[in-house]
Structure 1
Amino acid sequence: MKYEVTKDLETGNTLIDSEHRQLFDAVNTLMDACSAGKGRMTIKSTAQFLGDYVIKHFRDEENLQKNSHYPGYAYHRQFHGGYTQTLNNICKEIETDGPTISALSKMNQHIGVLVSHIRSEDKKLAEFLKH
């Protein structure tokens, strides 16, 4: 399954949408490599990129929230912290055990959580930033 920033996931905020696309591209690269039997060759670099980029992306979103006095900042920040920790755990599992079906399933589920977050919380943030 390919992840894409479709119309229902676009927030209308150029920075947020661009960063979501880069995150999805990295996940797609990892999944494609695993499907082609080359997951072990790309796991470490992709997992490192994902971990680093999620931190950058969440920091960028949180800065937008702080600067605009977004009322959902505390909840959003709490979600980001938990999401980052779980992603780091999944990436470590993939690095340690390889691209197992279990680990890749966890990654897919976790990206699903991000998609839901984008669809609800990030869209609320982008709408708030328009005003």
Structure 2
Amino acid sequence: MIWKEKYKIGIPTIDKQHEELFNRVADFVQAIRQEGRWEEKIEKVKDTMVFLQEYVVTHFDYEEQYQQTLGYPDCEEHHNIHEAFKADIQSAAKEFADAGYHEQAVQILAGRLLAWLINHVVATDHKMAQYVTEQGLKI
């Protein structure tokens, strides 16, 4: 499990969504790195891609609506970061569907997912939480 308490931003719904994302990505990484035939792992890759394509939209929409409610000044920048990530996931899903689920490409994606998720939550989302605190806003 890669979720850590230090990743919490103090906004319960968003923290819960983040934890779900971390857990699913961690399960994905663990599944593809275990011993066994690659062909047996492809279903986990497919399931994870479907989950990401659906869940990040739900999560990002919630987070962006929350930011708009707060009048968060970096809302547009945050939205653009989200859009770039969604495009990356869509591109990877299309690449895998078109070219096959090659192990090396999936391993690279797994590393990118982990790095993006940790960096985004620790830097970008914590910045939003800091704004909430500084403004004395209710969570």
TM class, shorter-chain normalised? 0.7 to 0.9
Partner of 1:58: 60
| 1:41-63 Cα deviation digits (max 9, x unpaired) | 22222210111101111001100
1:19-61, Cα deviation, whole Å (9 max, x unpaired): 1111111112222222333321222222101111011110011
- With 92-101 and 66-75 compared, the bigger mean Cα shift is at 92-101
Identity, in percent, stands at 24
Checking the alignment, whether the CA contact within 8 Å between 1:40 and 1:98 is kept in structure 2 is yes
Aligned to 1:115: 118
1:32 to 30, 33, 49: 30
CA-to-partner distance for each residue in 1:58-111, whole Å, 9 max, x for gaps?
A: 001100001110001010001000011012222333444215123321331233
Distance 1:111 1:14 in 2: 22
SS at structure 2 position matched to 1:57: helix
Structure 2 unmatched ranges of 5 or more: none
Q: What's 1:129 paired with?
A: 132
TM-score, L = length of structure 1:
0.86
Work out which of the two has the higher radius of gyration on C-alpha atoms and give 1 or 2: 2
Give TM-score, length-normalised by structure 2: 0.82
Secondary structure of the corresponding residue to residue 70 of structure 1: coil
Residues 1:106 and 2:109 aligned together: yes
CA RMSD of aligned residues (A): 1.8
Tell me which amino acid in the other structure corresponds to 1:14. P
- Distance in 2 (CA, whole Å) between partners of 1:71 and 1:33 is 39
Alpha-carbon spacing, 1:45–1:106, altered in 2? closer, same or farther (3 Å): closer
